[in-house]
Amino acid sequence: MTLTFQDLGLSSSLMQSISKMGFEEPSPIQAQTIPLGLQNKDVIGQAQTGTGKTAAFGIPLIEKIDVKQEQIQAVVVAPTRELAIQVSEELYKIGYHKRSRVLPIYGGQDINRQIRSLKKNPHIIVGTPGRLIDHINRKTIRLNAVHTVVLDEADEMLNMGFIEDIESILSNVPSERQTLLFSATMPDPIRRIAERFMKDPELVKVKAKEMTVPNITQYYLETHERKKFDVLTRLLDIQSPELAIVFGRTKRRVDELSEALTLRGYTAEGIHGDLTQAKRMSTLRKFKEGAIEVLVATDVAARGLDISGVTHVYNFDVPQDPESYVHRIGRTGRAGKTGMAMTFVTPRELDIVKNIERTTKRKMDRMKPPTVDEAIESQQQMTVEKIRSIIDSENLAFFKRTAEELLEEFDAQDVVAAAIKFMTKEPNSVEVKLTEEAPLYSKSKNKGRSSSSSNNRRRGDYRGRDGQKKPNNRSSSYGDRDRGKGNNSKRRYSNSK
């Protein structure tokens, strides 16, 4: 029998919130972490992307909040502003009926306004390390009543150079506390933090044969650097994703790709660490609302992002290492939904695919780059479907006389063919500029080569949050067989079974 949230002995106000959020049953990491959290045990949690780690710590954390006590009782530390916002929104929803107060605290926001918000006695704060330290130093935050600390995406905080800040935060909260740490990997510095600052932590590692969830179908396409862009646009035409994320290796790449896609008639925008906070937020908002179909991003920019409705991930440039592959494709196939991931590799990069497959213990299927004809064919197919649905649903009386006239003059087949041609998106060959990237060499072959995107790994990169997407009726006949399955309003995990 599967465990229910009821079995976990949650209070009625939390049960109410959880059911309003549409969660039917706990995900595996939740089933294991929530009881430990409620027993005040320290926990180190590791689980696949998109499997509900936020609620895994959020539910016990909020259960333990005493709303009558007007003090900060829990601190969640997250690597970026967008992630801090995303986590605090999820905690707000979980604590909605309990009326617990959550405040996100991050850099780039007016500090005086934050100080005023802090005076309103939030029960929980979710902050980025730098800004939390700032408030600790200014003594504008009182942490003496904190009984729970959560470190979310600890390895990412390490990558971003926050390790000392985290140590300093942990030294500033009462030692009689519970600490929960979530990390995709456990490099030594994180292990040391666990040894130094945690009490007998219980390791909750959701056993998964594979690092990636099974509901993402994974493909690789062998293609030459110069052909990648055409392959991408053909795939976009054929697969017609609802929302797609295209990953590029560098910031320049992201800028050039989003510009090139726009020139070719796609609604695309890019996010990376050099853009202003306001710009990144507005781009993410548009993407969540469906006003942008294609989001082009660097690895770090998209980490942890929980955007519902991302159906396709394209690795325009092969990812640096297996971990970044796992995080990239993990932007789709979240909460049990299905997704597709396509990784472009140049012939010299084929080793990297092998290496990823070895690490994730999952084979990628080979997909042949589509030809122009296939792209046109599928566009035609879409036109035909459009015509079918117009015939089914619309009153065409007004157009019939003209149709008769045309049919008197021409052969029926010619008339229909002309109409299909007119309605079908022609392949667009507007010239675009893309600077070539050198192939990435497999690490095992070429140790010590510095990573070309490491300059993206810096403070203040960002994430965003789930949103609703406008309905999109486009459909296609190729490559997206699983699309839309599982997008029902009840949210259920199927990837654990």
Ligand X SMILES: Nc1ncnc2c1ncn2[C@@H]1O[C@H](COP(=O)(O)OP(=O)(O)OP(=O)(O)O)[C@@H](O)[C@H]1O
Alpha-carbon gap, residue 347 to 366, rounded angstroms: 13
H or E segment and range at residue 415: helix 412-423
Applying the rule CB under 6 A, the residues between 299 and 318 that interact with ligand X are 304, 306
Does 7 engage in binding with ligand X (CB under 6 A)?
A: no
Q: Which does 330 bind (CB under 5 to 8 A by kind): ligand X, Mg ion, none?
A: ligand X
Q: Which of 13, 17, 46, 49 binds ligand X (CB under 6 A)?
A: 49
Q: Which own/partner contact pairs does 229-233 have at CB distance under 8 Å and 24+ positions apart? A: 229/257, 229/260, 229/432, 229/434, 230/372, 231/344, 231/369, 231/370, 232/261, 232/314, 232/316, 232/344, 233/261, 233/264, 233/266, 233/375, 233/428
Burial of 377 per CB tally in 10 Å (0-12, 13-18, 19+): middle
Residue recorded with tokens 């990376």: 272
Least distance to ligand X, CB of residue 22, Å: 7
Alpha-carbon gap, residue 376 to 381, rounded angstroms: 9
Least distance to Mg ion, CB of residue 224, Å: 36
Nearest alpha carbon to residue 236 among 322, 173, 333, 314: 314
Alpha-carbon gap, residue 99 to 264, rounded angstroms: 49
Applying the rule CB under 5 A, the residues between 276 and 305 that interact with Mg ion are 304
Least distance to Mg ion, CB of residue 240, Å: 29
Q: Which of 8, 17, 23, 31 binds ligand X (CB under 6 A)?
A: 23
Does 32 engage in binding with ligand X (CB under 6 A)?
A: no
Does 26 engage in binding with ligand X (CB under 6 A)?
A: yes
Total interface residues for ligand X by CB under 6 A: 21
Q: Tokens for 16?
A: 């109410």
Q: Which does 49 bind (CB under 5 to 8 A by kind): ligand X, Mg ion, none?
A: ligand X
Alpha-carbon gap, residue 453 to 437, rounded angstroms: 12
Least distance to ligand X, CB of residue 82, Å: 12
Q: Considering beta carbons, is residue 2 or 11 the nearer one to ligand X?
A: 2
Does 17 engage in binding with ligand X (CB under 6 A)?
A: no
How many whole angstroms from its chain centre is CA 380? 32
Q: Which does 183 bind (CB under 5 to 8 A by kind): Mg ion, ligand X, none?
A: none
Least distance to ligand X, CB of residue 303, Å: 7
Q: Which of 309, 330, 370, 464 binds ligand X (CB under 6 A)?
A: 330
In the complex, the residues that contact ligand X under the rule CB under 6 A are 23, 26-27, 30, 47, 49-55, 304, 306, 330, 334-335, 466, 491-493
